[in-house]
Amino acid sequence: MCGIVGYVGSKECTEVLLNSLSKLEYRGYDSAGIAVFENGEIKTRKAKGKIADLVNKMEKEGTLSGHCGIGHTRWATHGEPSDVNSHPHGNANVTIVHNGIIENYKKIKEFLVRKGYTFESETDTETVAKLLDCFYEGNPLQAIQRVIDEVEGSYALGIMFKDYPDRIYAVRKDSPLIVAVGEGESFIASDVPAILKYTKNYYLLDQDEIAILKPDGVEFYDDHGTRIKKQMHIADFDEEAAKKGNFPHYMIKEIHDQPSAVKTTITPRITNGMPDLTECGMTYDRLKSYENIFVVACGTAMHAGLVGKYVIEKTARIKVTVDVASEFRYRDPILSEKDLVILVSQSGETADTLEALRLAKRNGADTLSIVNVKGSSIARESDMVLYTHAGPEISVASTKAYMVQLSVFYLIAFALAYANEKITEDECRRLVAQLQEVPDQIEAIVAKPDDCQYVASKLVNTENLLYIGRGLDYALSMEGSLKLKEISYIHSESYAAGELKHGTISLVTEEMPVIAVATQRELFDKTISNVKEVKARGAYVVLVTHEGKDVDPDAADCVITVPSIDDLLMPMTAVVPLQLIAYYTSVLRGNDVDKPRNLAKSVTVE
């Protein structure tokens, strides 16, 4: 939520800031702004809307020229999206950009008002800028230390002090921030793609560490003001991986990335045909020791966990509880040191998932995270981490991250089942071999989008829709439904097919299309009965199933088939048509596919 950037160096900084911000727009796009040192003065430009609106505004009002500056792209929390609430905030002496939420901003504001400060915006951020100004007595480091002692909440801050026109100061707590270094230049950014055009070398700022960026290098200090050394990281993907290439949207590019993302994620974790999770310390003995497993995540990552639950319970016969992170952290869960809590997150920064992790650790449970972004907070704070290797996922609607999360859950399930002697070595090898076939199958589905485009053309004017399925298909239909609603703005619900008759079927008319997923052989006939029930009530029905299934021609209006594989693994292939249907429907409705309204990719506030 919100992206921040900063630059010090010989380049024209407005150009660098705008380029870097454009790579972070997925984090929020309610407004954008920059501040630049121009002739020793801090000058700002800001505009409601996307970065393109800021650029247009600067074309009319004049651009800024300088070599040191900060920038922001906003997902509004305090105060509506407007020019005045846009960052940067501050005054002629101190100006900041902020990602996070200051929880005690009202108290700080009252204190500052008593001191004579006035406020222009409704934001929490402006109070931090003015508090810095209030505490500043010529030493920026000391002012920042005093401010971090006072503020409660989360923050990643980029700060400019008028007295230091060639420096950026940065500090963070519970919101991500990297500090990157190039030849004679340095950068701050909320995420790695923002700096890849200029450098691959970066540092991860830890809680309450302070960085001072100067043209000739970066200095790091702890929260007591003691200078510290930090380890440099090198980004493991380049600028091209974070670009759309020839695709019209990131989402469709990322759907196409899925086969290689799965291969890259599973290959290093298969040794002699068997799952091997020892890279993170997860041996068969350790796997055997757990009594209960909890999966905690949000949104799509939680949906991956639901598939994980079915697969682990079915193969390893261990109880798995799946929780939405925002519920888990407040429901006082019963945890012990014999439990494993698996946290799933693409960004590794989701505030509720991070807090759920901390809660699990406080209660003595073992924690394992499945995370895509290297060095993110959840990855760093968990006992064990299995990185998914999907590369950068830019589209707000998650696709390839879900796919690789599933692939890791399968490896965990097969390893658990084998460790607990619930499957033989031969069966384990067979399942792993089937998993290795999935990338080619996804490739084949993605290559033929015609049926999904046709379904999208039928759904484009609908306002409500139901997804139904049983067992694994139900877990999958939840993801299909979320994908459709978040980018097409069509209201959709997913329902356990067998539950329809207990109320929801009253909604079914010719105005209510139904997408039914039926890939589980033992449940197929039962789901088809439910499909017929909705068809009989006038619904336009799309059925997603696997090739070779004999489907009664009257059962559905459109049948989409995917290659056949072990039932357990079907979610990995059957999700692809659901992703494509959502994508093409959004395109036909003329929506901003990659940046759907009101959303941000990385939800760093609760």
Q: Is 344 helix (H, G, I), strand (E, B) or coil?
A: strand
| 2 is known as an active-site residue | yes
The size of the chain, in residues, is 606
CB of 564 to ligand M6R, least distance (A): 27
The CA distance from 406 to 303, in Å, is: 9
Amino acid identity at 433: A
Task: Read off the tokens for 536.
Answer: 């009989």
Binding mask 268-307 vs ligand M6R (x if CB under 6 A, - otherwise)?
Answer: ------------------------------xxxx------
**Closer residue to ligand M6R, CB minimum distance, 488 or 602:** 602
CA distances from 239 to 46, 198, 205 (A): 27, 9, 22
Q: Which of residues 511-530 bind ligand M6R (CB under 6 A)?
A: none
Q: Which among 46, 50, 253, 601 is annotated as catalytic?
A: 601
Q: Which among 2, 13, 68, 134 is annotated as catalytic?
A: 2
Q: Name the strands in the sheet holding 339-345, side by side, starting at the edge strand that comes first in the sequence.
A: 319-324, 292-297, 339-345, 366-371, 384-387
Site membership for ligand M6R, residue 486 (CB under 6 A): yes
Within 13 Å, how many C-alpha atoms sit on residue 508's CB side?
26
The CA distance from 291 to 357, in Å, is: 18
CB of 250 to ligand M6R, least distance (A): 12
**Closer residue to ligand M6R, CB minimum distance, 389 or 470:** 389
Binding segment for ligand M6R among 188-196, 393-401, 420-428, 434-442 (CB under 6 A)?
A: 393-401
Q: Which of residues 317-376 bind ligand M6R (CB under 6 A)?
A: 345-347, 350, 353
Amino acid identity at 263: K
Q: Where are the beta strands (DSSP E) in 416-572?
A: 464-469, 491-496, 514-518, 541-546, 558-562
CA-CA-CA-CA torsion for 100, 104, 107, 110, nearest 10 degrees?
10
CB of 251 to ligand M6R, least distance (A): 9
Task: Read off the tokens for 463.
Answer: 């306002």
Binding segment for ligand M6R among 127-135, 240-248, 287-295, 392-400 (CB under 6 A)?
A: 392-400
Site membership for ligand M6R, residue 603 (CB under 6 A): yes
Contacts of 469 (CB under 8 A, 6+ apart): 475, 476, 477, 494, 496, 497, 516, 517, 518, 527
Q: Which of residues 563-602 bind ligand M6R (CB under 6 A)?
A: 602
The total of other beta-carbon atoms located within 10 Å of residue 92's CB is 10
**Closer residue to ligand M6R, CB minimum distance, 398 or 585:** 398
**Closer residue to ligand M6R, CB minimum distance, 77 or 104:** 77
CB of 336 to ligand M6R, least distance (A): 25
The CA distance from 509 to 540, in Å, is: 9
Site membership for ligand M6R, residue 397 (CB under 6 A): yes
Apex CA 535: angle with CA 534 and CA 539, to 5°? 80
Site membership for ligand M6R, residue 388 (CB under 6 A): no
The CA distance from 602 to 172, in Å, is: 16
CB of 299 to ligand M6R, least distance (A): 2
**Closer residue to ligand M6R, CB minimum distance, 298 or 385:** 298
Taking CB atoms, the residue at the shortest distance from ligand M6R is 299
Binding mask 156-195 vs ligand M6R (x if CB under 6 A, - otherwise)?
Answer: ----------------------------------------
**Closer residue to ligand M6R, CB minimum distance, 158 or 480:** 480
CB of 485 to ligand M6R, least distance (A): 10
Site membership for ligand M6R, residue 391 (CB under 6 A): no
Task: Read off the tokens for 408.
Answer: 């890791």
Q: Is 515 helix (H, G, I), strand (E, B) or coil?
A: strand
CB of 346 to ligand M6R, least distance (A): 3
CB of 105 to ligand M6R, least distance (A): 24
CA–centroid distance for 527 within its chain: 32
Task: Read off the tokens for 250.
Answer: 């990131």
The CA distance from 155 to 135, in Å, is: 18
| 601 is known as an active-site residue | yes
**Which parts of this chain interact with ligand M6R (CB under 6 A)?**
298-301, 345-347, 350, 353, 396-398, 482, 486, 602-603
- The residues carrying an active-site annotation are 2, 601
